[in-house]
Each structure stands twice: as C-alpha cells, then as structure tokens.
Structure 1
Amino acid sequence: MAAVVNEYPFSQVDVFAPGPKPGNPVAVVHDADGLSTEQMQSFANWTNLSETTFLLRPSHPDADYRLRIFTPRAEIPFAGHPTLGSAHAWLENGGQPQGEGELVQECGAGLVNIKRAEDGLSFAAPPLRRSGPVEPAVLEQAVASLGIGHEQVLGSNWVDNGPGWLGIRLATAQQVVNLEPDFSAMGDLLVGVIGAFDDGGPADFEVRAFAPGLDVPEDPVTGSLNAGLALWLRGEGVVAADYTVRQGTVLGRGGLVTVTSEAETMWVGGASRTVVRGVVGL
C-alpha cells in the first residue's frame, strides 16, 4: 500500500549571490508544521544541499515564523544563509512581519532579528555560544588538516554560534584560496579560515568553511561562520566596522557577504533570489 504523500509549497533560494555566478542554495519547505523530524531529516538528506529548512508557525509571541534547519546529516540550531534564504522565501510567499522593516525568526538559537534593505536581507549576528582560545590538541588537529604550518596562523578562536565553528586567521586571501584540506584528518571539526586581500581586492577578506562532519566538506558561502568571525575579529580590532567577504571562489561560486556594524550589533547580509518554485510531495 502506497504511503500517503502531502504537498507543500517549495522554494530553492540562492543566497549571497549578487552577480552572475551562483552563491549558496537553500531548499525551503513552507507550511511544514505537519512534518515529523524524521521526514524533515530524510528530505534534507535527499536534497543533499548544505542546508534544507522548514518554515513553521511561531511558538514565541515576538516571532514572525519558526525555522528548523537541517544538514544532510543532522539538525542544527542556527545557520546564516538558510536564515536569509528562508526569510526571503517567507516574504516572497506573502509573509507579513509584525515589525516595520524588520522580521524576527525563531530557531534553535532563539530569536534572530532580520532587517530588509534595497540590496538584500541582513541578520543580526547571534551571541557566541562558545568563544575563547582553542585547546592545543584541537588546534593542532585543525592546522594539520589544513595542510599548513603553525607559523602561518595569525590567530585562532572558537566562533561557535550554533553549528560549532572554529576560526583560523591567515595573513593573506591567497593563502586561504590555496588550502587543500584533508577532510579525514579534520574529522568532526567545523573549521573556518579567513585571510585579507590587499587594498583594491575584490573584497576585504577571503573565507572558506569546512564541515565534513556534517556531510558538507566545503560550504560555498556561510553566514553563521562570517557572523562568528565578525564578533571575534572586531573584538580583537582586526576588522573595521564595515567590510566585505568573498567566499566560494574555489568552488566556482560568486559569494559576497557584507558585514556592517550598528552600535553593538554586527549585521551579516547579502543578495538572495529564488531560483526554483513549486511543490514537494512528502
């Protein structure tokens, strides 16, 4: 006997892609309150994207909607490009936020503020769940898995706002591009690497994000990592109040992330566009 299949509105949104090259896609299932966790995880495994999200009715009175976020392997409390892509899809499908010019997402990391501007959406960088120095043995594993020497590392820190990111800073953007990581050596670590361009470069920094433990060896463009890096590097005086990041270069993507500062809040944003619209049977 065939299983009962229900249809749900579906969007696939490209995030952090201001030009002709693609950014990072997220699959978004709307009105997903009737789905079980097992169905969500199974569909996320099937899409095989770095994240698949499910829009639900909010449980918090201040939230406009609730979001659950899944990698192909596991649910995570927060991620950046799924936040922006899902907000874009929610608005495009008739969502009406309670606030003027901003919307509020409820997710595993709590409430996340998202603001609208002409050039796209931005989310407020959530507080770090884990920060501070990386334990020597963990740092040794991360550096070895990147195939570089400790003399190339200008700094390292936990920058975990949900997924579990560890941040490493190199001197130049080219060093970041040249990395050839050993994913088996990296294991379950989530490693983000940042390096600066010279003046006049395509952006201020190059970033790469590696998450083999989540079945995402290299994520094309990563909002959560960039949010964590922003809080860390601003605290150390490494970054200016506003800057830009290029990501996805090695994967042939054209990701561009903007980071802006307003008082104590760091906003991470970029362009989003819906590429696929339709329904899915789950």
Structure 2
Amino acid sequence: MPKFKQVDVFTSVNFKGNPVAVFFDADNLTDKELQSIANWTNLSETTFVLEPTNPKADYRVRIFTPIDELPFAGHPTIGTSHAVIQAGLVKPNDDGIIVQESAVGLVSVKVKDGGLQFKLPFYKHEIYDLNSDLIKGIIKSLGSTTEKVKRVVLVEDGPRWLTIQFNDGEDVKELKTDSTSLIQISQKSGLDGFSCFGKFSANSHDLIDQSLTYEARNFVVFGSYVVEDPVCGSGAGADSSLLAEFEDFEGDLTIRQGRNLGRNGIIKVSVTKQQNGDNSRTIYVGGNAVTVLDGNY
C-alpha cells in the first residue's frame, strides 16, 4: 500500500505548527481523486508526491486545498521536503539541497540548522492606496484602522496576498475579523488572501531572539467563510519581499504566527541582495518540521 505522512510545519513541537498531509506514489491518481483526498483531509493543503518530469528535480509535488489546486505554497513545500527526506526517497546533495518540481517550476530547498528552507521562486508587487475606500473597508473588516497601517501591497509569490504592514506587532495580534464584511469585500474586489504583519518594538516581551521579530496573521476567504492560516510560508515570503523592496531590508528576521489559534509557529527568513546590478533579492523561508502521523492509504 502507498504511504502517507502528516507533518507539522514551522515547529519542533507536535501540534503547535501548521499540518500538511503528504501522500506518496500519487502518479496513478486522477485529478478528481487528488482533489477528493484533499477535500477529505480538510487541511489547508494536502500534497501528492510524483515522479519528476524535469531531470533537475528530485521529485514533483502537486498541492491541493480542499477546493482547488495551488501552483505553489510555503508550508506544504517544507512539509513535503521533510517527508521525502525522512522516507529515504530523496537525499540532499553535498550542499544540503534538494530540488522540488511544482507548477511554478523548480524550487530549491536547503537543509539548514536542523530545519529546512525554500527559496521563494518569485514575487511581484502592486502598490495599493492606503486611503482608498477598498483598503479602508478591508482594514476595518480586520478590526483595525488605517492609522495603525504603514503600507499595503498586493504580493504574488504563487498565491496572491494583499499584504498589510502594521506599525506594531501588537496591532496584528489584536485583529478581530468581521467575516461577513470581509467576504462581501472579497467577492466584489476579487481579493481572497490577506497577509498581515508588524514588527515588535525593541522593548516588547514578545521578542524571542536578537534577529528582527514580527507577528503575522494570514486570512483567506473560501466562498462563504473566512479561514485564518495557522502558520504561512508564502505569506512570510510576501511579508519579507515587501520589506526588501520598500525598506531595502537585507539580513535575517523571525516571524511568529498562530498564537491566536493556540499554535506557536516560528518562521526564519533570510534576505540577500544579488550582485547583478538590478537590486533584486533572494529570499529563503524556513523552519522546523516534525512528523505527527505515519501510515498507509
């Protein structure tokens, strides 16, 4: 029988991160069967491991939510990489790197400091007017005010996140969504994902190490309901790309996420400038992962 693992991502403690179900040997499953399994697990994402079609890849992955397929997502990439390495299906090269093939192309995943980090495949930015009625309505639906917000940028890095940078991490922790209003706005605007983050002040008790520490929360509208993602890798990538682009950030930062849901996810991000003259950045998003369930299907 083919095997599966359920992996908790962005944590080293069971049940404190974001789970992903990883199903091996999925080459013979139809699209309908893949979607049916993802609907049944009812997790934010379920992944399926297949033989690669690109000779440079170690494996291929398809990523499904309960209702559709995603071209790329962060915590499923970390969780799937952890699962295939643990299962002995893939061995990192001498530089500690494996290569994942997904719908967005090849994604490098590096084993580092006992965890894993993926290279953000790409990112695109579109600036939104903070004083527009649309943004005011969204921020109000999130339970906050524009006075607490620094900037708003639509970031596409696989998913499309309307990324809202708050002035303080405490403001992010205090968000309380008006689901009905947020759904109505999303249906009219076509925006379906909201990545909210803010930096803690230097004297905050929430600082956990010497690197820059941020609080993040991600909200997704699925049809008639709003879901808060416990810990979100692509959201962390979107947040970090905004800092890199608009604040010229370079270096390491730590993002905490999930505490409003009883989780305690820790995401480590590294941003480096490229030496090619175009001021582009390379962004790595990473963290720990642990296998919680191990079985067959």
Match of 1:106 in 2: 101
* Kept after mapping to 1: 8 A contact 2:244/2:271: no
Task: State which drifts further: 180-189 or 79-88.
Answer: 180-189
Match of 1:168 in 2: 164
TM-score w.r.t. the length of structure 1 is: 0.91
* 1:231 maps to amino acid: S
* 2:289 maps to amino acid: S
Partners in 1 of 2:19 and 2:152 — Cα distance?
28
Post-superposition offset of 1:183: 2.4
Post-superposition offset of 1:45: 1.0
* Kept after mapping to 1: 8 A contact 2:12/2:290: no
Partners in 2 of 1:112 and 1:225 — Cα distance?
17
* Kept after mapping to 2: 8 A contact 1:157/1:166: yes
Match of 1:143 in 2: 139
Match of 1:3 in 2: none
* 2:286 maps to amino acid: G
Deviation sequence 1:168-213 (CA, Å, 0-9, x none): 0111111101101122322342001001112263341000000122
1:254 paired with 2:264, answer: yes
Partners in 1 of 2:39 and 2:73 — Cα distance?
17
Match of 1:205 in 2: 214
Post-superposition offset of 1:142: 2.3
Alignment of 1:55-74 (within 5 A): 55-74=49-68
Segments of structure 2 that go 5 or more residues without pairing to the other structure are: 187-191, 274-280
Alignment of 1:230-241 (within 5 A): 230-237=240-247, 239-241=249-251
* 1:275 maps to amino acid: V
1:13 paired with 2:31, answer: no
Give the 3-state SS of the residue equivalent to 2:2 in structure 1: strand
Structure 1 segments of 4+ aligned residues over 6 angstroms from their partners: none
Match of 2:193 in 1: 190
Deviation sequence 1:248-267 (CA, Å, 0-9, x none): 01001010000113443111
Post-superposition offset of 1:118: 2.9
TM-score w.r.t. the length of structure 2 is: 0.86
Aligned residue-pair number: 273
Match of 1:121 in 2: 116
* Kept after mapping to 2: 8 A contact 1:245/1:257: yes
Segments of structure 1 that go 5 or more residues without pairing to the other structure are: 1-6
Match of 1:39 in 2: 33
Match of 1:4 in 2: none
Partners in 1 of 2:15 and 2:32 — Cα distance?
34
Match of 1:267 in 2: 284
Q: Percent same amino acid at aligned positions?
A: 40
* Kept after mapping to 2: 8 A contact 1:56/1:65: yes
Post-superposition offset of 1:240: 4.7
* Kept after mapping to 2: 8 A contact 1:234/1:241: no
Deviation sequence 1:46-97 (CA, Å, 0-9, x none): 1111110000111111111111101111111111000000000011111234
| Match among 254, 257, 265 for residue 244 of structure 1 | 254
